[in-house]
């Protein structure tokens, strides 16, 4: 009989109760956790991807005050949306959220759908975000599996997530959602992974699930007869200002700072990036819909989309 046949044996009800009690007492009081409004939850989930939760919560508060409904956001100029996203990084998420709001208005009468497949069809919404919205906003028993949740559940169940395929771990995550506390459970696992169950040096002595956790007990998954694959040595990360991501951020930042509708010339180097690299970054951002660009032989100009 596999682990998935009896999920209560690997993540027992008592362990889940302990995690929920810990979250009720010590969970982070992030602003967006005070609501179950589906649109507000969707905004928070897209903001919190690859952004510190505290920073996302601050931006979310301002955003919801400005655009409290999907209809409000759908009607907003793209330039305003991109300016409001400043500081959150990965600016394509802003564009995706704007397009998702337009789809919600056009296809769902302005209401975020509660069906998982319909959620996944929204621009920028993948399996994780769809499950998080379904669990938090609609209290549906779906497990939202991100890096933190994968680590927490994998360690409790078998000592590490390496023993699970992605599909098997998703099935386990769905199976162990408390049927009367899907939203709190989703937040609790995210907090546990972010604050205690770290990739290295986890704080097992403070973890509410330690008594049931295979990892805390010293167990590790057996991954094949030959053992885990040897990892290639990690190459040093390049200095951030030398990366294309840094350059794209500076290009977009210049456009954000310009008056509405004004064209910005990009005819010089930015940091260590020469004029050719700057031009290529502008054109790439324009191809993604984040800028409007126009070229002439001597320079290239761009502005935020109208």
**Distance between CA atoms of 293 and 282, rounded to whole angstroms?**
7
48 token code pair: 């919190």
∠ CA(11), CA(14), CA(19), 5° rounding? 80
- Please state, in angstroms and rounded to a whole number, the distance separating the CA atoms of residues 280 and 287: 11
Query: Does the annotation count 288 as an active-site position?
Result: no
Q: Which residues touch 105 (CB under 8 Å, ≥6 apart)?
A: 70, 71, 74
Beta-strand ranges (E) seen in 8-67 are none
Take residue 24 and report the two structure tokens written for it: 């009720």
Angle between helices 13-26 and 182-195 (to 10 degrees): 80
Give the list of residues 6+ apart from residue 206 with CB closer than 8 angstroms, or none: 196
Catalytic residue among 17, 45, 257, 295: 45
CB-side exposure of 113: number of CA atoms within 13 Å? 18
**Distance from CA of residue 22 to its chain's centroid?**
23
Instruction: State the catalytic residues.
Output: 45
């Amino acid at each position: 009989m596999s682990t998935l046949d009896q999920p209560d044996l690997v993540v027992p009800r008592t362990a889940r109760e302990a995690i929920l009690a810990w979250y009720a007492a010590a969970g982070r009081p992030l602003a967006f956790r005070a609501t179950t409004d589906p649109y507000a939850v969707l905004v928070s989930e897209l903001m919190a991807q690859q952004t510190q939760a505290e920073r996302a919560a601050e931006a979310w508060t301002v955003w919801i005050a400005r655009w409290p409904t999907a209809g409000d956001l759908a009607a907003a100029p793209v330039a305003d949306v991109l300016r409001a996203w400043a500081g959150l990084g990965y600016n394509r998420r802003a564009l995706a959220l704007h397009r998702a709001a337009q789809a919600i208005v056009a296809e769902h009468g302005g209401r975020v759908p509660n069906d998982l497949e319909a959620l996944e069809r929204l621009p920028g919404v993948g399996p994780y975000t769809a499950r998080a919205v379904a669990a938090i906003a609609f209290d549906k028993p779906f497990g939202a599996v991100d890096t933190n949740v994968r680590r927490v559940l994998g360690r409790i169940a078998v000592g590490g997530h390496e023993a699970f395929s992605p599909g098997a771990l998703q099935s386990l995550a769905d199976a162990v959602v408390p049927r009367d506390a899907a939203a709190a459970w989703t937040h609790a696992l995210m907090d546990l992974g972010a604050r205690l169950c770290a990739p290295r040096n986890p704080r097992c002595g403070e973890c509410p699930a330690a008594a049931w956790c295979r990892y805390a007990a010293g167990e590790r998954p057996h991954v094949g007869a030959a053992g885990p694959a040897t990892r290639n040595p990690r190459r040093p990360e390049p200095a951030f200002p030398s990366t294309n991501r840094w350059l794209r951020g500076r290009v977009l930042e210049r456009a954000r700072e310009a008056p509405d509708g004004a064209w910005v010339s990009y005819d010089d180097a930015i940091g260590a990036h020469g004029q050719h690299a700057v031009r290529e970054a502008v054109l790439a951002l324009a191809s993604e819909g984040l800028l409007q660009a126009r070229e002439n032989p001597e320079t290239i100009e761009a502005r935020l989309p109208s």
